[in-house]
């Protein structure tokens, strides 16, 4: 790894425990997958710098997504219904990494005041024009300057594993989440019994795209560092984690 150019690759500390000692797991498409010696988070490290990673979020990514519009909206309505059933029936809902806006649309149809944010303009344009959503924004979450304690529900569906700076994200989530609000997260679960062996063959292992592979402990620890905690975990047959997160009381 020492031969990699500094301008294109960056070495990071563990975003969960700040550790800097890692065990090598395997290399895929030239990217080294490692496990943190202290907290066991699996991540790509060193990894391509954000500008390189950003190139994977091109228009095709969003166009593929919009093609499956009907299926996406149906799945989104199910996810929103689950949150409504257990926690919230109204208020402001923010979907982070909203892409074309199907979760925001589902939240809106279910009685929420829906917001969405995504780095990719094409999806936002689709959501605004085709789905009639008014509160979609382009850019990183932390650049939106939403008011404090603003959102009753914040969702991140298949998003947190892509985010370059997890601690900036988590700090911002804590700031904008209402006191009794919930964060609903779905992310691949490296601790799930159905994860393929060897790990390098698991379909969720995606160089440049999935930067981190959490289990319940590592995800909870990340949020604990910022005054948030997992309060509910839903069981799933797929190797993904479905959790709700709230302020630590
Ligand atoms: Zn760690």
Flag whether 48 is in a domain: no
Q: What pLDDT is stored for residue 56 in this prediction?
A: 66
Q: What pLDDT is stored for residue 52 in this prediction?
A: 78
Flag whether 71 is in a domain: yes
Query: Does the pLDDT value for residue 21 go beyond 50?
Result: yes
Please give the average per-residue pLDDT across 110-117, as a whole number: 97
Q: What percent of the chain has pLDDT over 90?
A: 81
Ligand 1 centre distance from Cα of residue 215 (Å): 12
Structural domain count, the chain: 1
Query: Does the pLDDT value for residue 1 go beyond 50?
Result: no
Q: What pLDDT is stored for residue 149 in this prediction?
A: 97
Measured CA to CA, the distance from residue 56 to residue 221 in angstroms comes to 28
Flag whether 121 is in a domain: yes
Please give the average per-residue pLDDT across 89-94, as a whole number: 92
Q: What pLDDT is stored for residue 2 in this prediction?
A: 43
Q: What pLDDT is stored for residue 87 in this prediction?
A: 81
Ligand 1 centre distance from Cα of residue 197 (Å): 22
Ligand 1 centre distance from Cα of residue 57 (Å): 27
pLDDT band at 218 (very low <50, low <70, confident <90, very high): very high
Query: What's the CATH code of the domain at 92?
Result: 3.40.50.150
Cα distances (angstroms) measured from residue 226 to each of 97, 120, 247: 20, 27, 9
Ligand 1 centre distance from Cα of residue 88 (Å): 33
Query: Does the pLDDT value for residue 4 go beyond 60?
Result: no
pTM of structure: 0.93
Flag whether 23 is in a domain: no
Flag whether 8 is in a domain: no
Please give the average per-residue pLDDT across 100-114, as a whole number: 96
Q: What pLDDT is stored for residue 189 in this prediction?
A: 97
Flag whether 136 is in a domain: yes
| Averaged pLDDT of the chain | 92
Please give the average per-residue pLDDT across 19-35, as a whole number: 97
Flag whether 1 is in a domain: no
Ligand 1 centre distance from Cα of residue 157 (Å): 23
Please give the average per-residue pLDDT across 149-163, as a whole number: 97
Domain of 119, in residue numbers: 57-247
Ligand 1 centre distance from Cα of residue 222 (Å): 9
Flag whether 165 is in a domain: yes
């Amino acid at each position: 790894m020492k031969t990699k150019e500094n301008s294109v690759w960056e070495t990071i500390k563990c975003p969960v425990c700040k550790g800097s000692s890692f065990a090598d797991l395997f290399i895929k498409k030239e990217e080294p997958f490692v496990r943190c010696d202290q907290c066991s988070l699996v991540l790509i490290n060193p990894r391509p710098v954000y500008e390189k990673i950003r190139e994977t979020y091109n228009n095709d990514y969003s166009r593929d997504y919009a093609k499956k519009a009907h299926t996406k909206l149906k799945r989104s309505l199910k996810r929103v219904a689950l949150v409504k059933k257990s926690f919230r029936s109204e208020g402001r809902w923010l979907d982070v990494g909203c892409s074309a806006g199907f979760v925001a649309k589902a939240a809106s149809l279910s009685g929420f005041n829906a917001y969405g944010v995504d780095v990719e303009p094409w999806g936002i344009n689709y959501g605004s024009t085709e789905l009639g959503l008014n509160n979609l924004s382009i850019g990183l979450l932390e650049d939106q300057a939403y008011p404090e304690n603003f959102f009753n529900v914040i969702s991140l569906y298949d998003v947190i594993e892509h985010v370059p700076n997890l601690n900036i994200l988590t700090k911002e989530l804590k700031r904008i989440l209402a006191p009794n609000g919930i964060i609903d997260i779905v992310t691949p679960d490296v601790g799930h019994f159905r994860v393929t062996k060897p790990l390098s063959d698991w379909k969720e292992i995606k160089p440049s795209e999935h930067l981190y592979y959490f289990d319940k402990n590592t995800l909870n620890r990340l949020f604990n560092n910022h005054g948030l905690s997992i309060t509910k975990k839903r069981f799933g047959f797929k190797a993904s984690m479905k959790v709700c997160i709230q302020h630590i009381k």
